[in-house]
Amino acid sequence: MPFVNIRTSAQLDASGVKAVTDAAHNAIRDVLNKPDQYIAVDVTVSPNLQFGGTKAPAAMISVHSIGYGANAKANKEALLKALGTAMKAAGDVPGDRLFVSFEDVHKDFWGFNGQLFSTIFG
């Protein structure tokens, strides 16, 4: 149910993509306490991504989840930090060239295995 969509101009090789993918997955699992089986992460290397008027390493990340926990603000800040750390380590993307957006998706608007999450979880 959580989906992390990462688009970056950083020149990530296969190991860099794996590092960022794994870091995002682990952050969602650990911070939001979401089961592994529902977490999806996509990393797209987009050399044409321009941020602040340049094509220097940058990233746009969107996180979609059904809820962010009882302490949503702190959890989003923890995710922001984890994603920023991963992008800096793997792609040398500084924090001032990284946007992260969060969307709280209602469980009536997300389906899995032929059912809405509102049906699965009530």
CATH assignment at residue 22: 3.30.429.10
**Domain enclosing residue 17, as ranges:** 3-121
**Average pLDDT of the residues of the chain:** 96
Instruction: Band the pLDDT of 1: cuts 50, 70, 90.
Output: confident
The tens digit of pLDDT for each residue in 61-112 reads 999 999 999 999 999 999 999 999 999 999 999 999 999 999 999 999 999 8
| Tally of structural domains, the chain | 1
Q: Above 90 in pLDDT, residue 122?
A: no
pLDDT at residue 109 in the model: 96
What contacts 32, CB < 8 A, 6 or more positions away? 2, 65, 67, 68, 69, 75, 79
pLDDT at residue 92 in the model: 95
Distance CA 118, CA 89 (A): 37
